[in-house]
Amino acid sequence: MHHSSYEQINPDFLIGKLRYEIASLKDSDRIRIFLDEYFCTREPLQVALEVTPEEIHEQYDSVLPSVLSKPVSILGFEKNELVCICLNSIQELSSENRHDPICDSFNVLKDDYSQDIENGPYRSVKANAIKVFLSELERGLPTSLPDCRRLFNIEIVVVHPMHKGRGICAELIDLSIKLAKSYDCDYIATCATAANSQYIFAKNNFSPIKEIQLSKFLQNGIPVFSNVKEDASSCVLMVKHIKE
């Protein structure tokens, strides 16, 4: 069944290895706690900057109301324990921002991002650096998908470390694809910041359309993410066409 509007739904396909539920605004606090414990300490960009929960909370507080305002994010439970989250969003694209072909600067980076980071929306410089980097990775996405009217975004996928290796991440991606189709989306996109997530999305037929080497993202001539692990040298913007 396709849903053109965003009424709360309880899709019958939301089944799998865990008990899955659609997240809502009432889940904000426990999602924030889960992110503090298992995302802030493991996501490559945040690890590279040694971000503390306090430094990233402002970013979470700005993101969660937006992604939870529509019934498209997923929580997974084993018994009554929250063991995974998949935060998603839907973007309506106007004819203006999807009509033009890919601009020549789609894959061109600035020489330096110090001014962008300094003028970022958050008090934390580290949070601003992550925000600016991801915005740069996503820049030009609508123009690269000229036939896209409704875009589904997988924003954050986190699985409790004790439940790794069970295929839960792949299942969350599959459920998100089904949700995107139920809302009549044309494409699904994600910014894959970890090598393992890039591999999993590729196995689900996501295609890379833009990649940024972390060593090329500079602040005052110095790589912002200089402390990155060897297996996280770049981040990739990946998309999948899902319109039937």
- Are 41 and 34 within 8 A, CB to CB? no
In the chain, what are the domains?
A: 19-241 (3.40.630.30)
Q: Is the pLDDT of residue 2 over 60?
A: no
- Are 154 and 86 within 8 A, CB to CB? yes
Which of 35-44, 94-103, 156-165 is predicted with the least confidence, judged by mean pLDDT? Answer: 94-103
Q: In angstroms, rounded to a whole number, what is the distance separating the alpha carbons of residues 200 and 197?
A: 5
Calculate mean pLDDT across residues 129-157: 93
Q: What are the backbone angles phi and psi of residue 161, rounded to the nearest 5°? A: -60, -25
Q: Is the pLDDT of residue 54 over 70?
A: yes
Query: What is the pLDDT confidence band of residue 102, given thresholds at 50, 70 and 90?
Result: very low
| Predicted confidence (pLDDT) per residue in 181-236, tens digit | 999 999 999 999 998 999 999 999 999 999 999 999 999 999 999 887 766 789 99
Position with higher pLDDT, 212 vs 15: 212
Indicate the burial class of 108 (C-beta count within 10 angstroms; 0-12, 13-18, 19 or more).
exposed
- Are 235 and 214 within 8 A, CB to CB? yes
Query: What is the pLDDT confidence band of residue 93, given thresholds at 50, 70 and 90?
Result: confident
Calculate mean pLDDT across residues 156-163: 95
Instruction: Concatenate the DSSP letters of all residues of 70-101 into one string.
Output: STT-EEEEETTEEEEEEEEEEEE--HHHHHSP
Residue entry with tokens 């799998």: 16
Calculate mean pLDDT across residues 134-155: 92
Contacts of residue 127, defined as CB under 8 A and 6 or more positions apart, other chains included, come to 51, 55, 56, 58, 59, 120
* Cα distances (Å, whole numbers) of residue 157 to 60, 74, 76, 154: 14, 9, 11, 8
Tokens for 105, please give them: 């600067």
Looking at the DSSP bridge assignments, the partners of residue 159 are 84
Calculate mean pLDDT across residues 169-181: 95
Contacts of residue 165, defined as CB under 8 A and 6 or more positions apart, other chains included, come to none
| Predicted confidence (pLDDT) per residue in 66-77, tens digit | 899 999 999 999
Q: In angstroms, rounded to a whole number, what is the distance separating the alpha carbons of residues 92 and 149?
A: 6
